[in-house]
C-alpha cells in the first residue's frame, strides 16, 4: 500500500487495484479510516475527530490529485506523492 502523504502523525495511503468507490486510507496511531474521494465522506467509524478534520482539510486541497492517483492505482502505475498540510 503506497504512502502518498503524511502530516501531523497522519499517514495517507492508497492501494493499487482497490475496490470502488474511489477512496483513500488514512491512519492515525491505531485508528484507520477510508474516505471517498468525491464526497470526502468517511466509509468507516471511530477515527478521532481532530485527525478527521485535518484529513478532510488536506483532501479538499488535493482532491484532483487524489483522483489522478486513483486512476493510476487502478492501472497499477506508480502513485505520485502529494504535499502534506503546511
Long-range CB contact pairs, 50-53, < 8 A, 24+: 51/8, 51/9, 51/10, 51/26
Q: Supply the pLDDT for residue 32.
A: 98
In the chain, the number of structural domains is 1
pLDDT digits (tens, 9 = 90+) for 1-21: 799 999 999 999 999 988 999
Look up residue 8 and give its three cell numbers: 501531523
| 9 class by beta-carbon count within 10 Å (0-12 exposed, 13-18 middle, 19+ buried) | exposed
pTM of the model: 0.94
Q: Supply the pLDDT for residue 17.
A: 81
| Residue 85 forms part of a structural domain | no
Q: Supply the pLDDT for residue 36.
A: 98
Look up the domain containing 40 and give its range.
3-74
Q: Supply the pLDDT for residue 69.
A: 97
DSSP H or E stretch at residue 71: helix 63-74
| Residue 81 forms part of a structural domain | no
| Residue 10 forms part of a structural domain | yes
| Residue 61 forms part of a structural domain | yes
Q: Supply the pLDDT for residue 80.
A: 97
Q: What is the mean pLDDT of each successive set of 10 residues along the chain, which is 86 residues long?
A: 94 92 97 98 97 98 98 94 96
Amino acid at each position: 500500500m503506497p504512502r502518498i502523504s503524511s502530516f501531523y502523525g497522519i499517514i495517507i495511503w492508497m492501494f493499487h487495484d482497490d475496490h470502488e468507490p474511489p477512496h483513500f486510507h488514512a491512519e492515525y496511531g491505531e485508528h484507520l479510516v477510508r474516505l471517498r474521494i468525491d464526497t470526502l465522506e468517511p466509509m468507516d467509524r471511530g477515527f478521532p475527530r481532530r485527525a478527521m478534520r485535518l484529513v478532510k482539510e488536506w483532501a479538499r486541497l488535493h482532491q484532483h490529485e487524489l483522483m489522478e492517483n486513483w486512476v493510476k492505482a487502478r492501472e497499477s502505475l506508480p502513485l505520485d506523492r502529494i504535499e502534506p498540510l503546511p
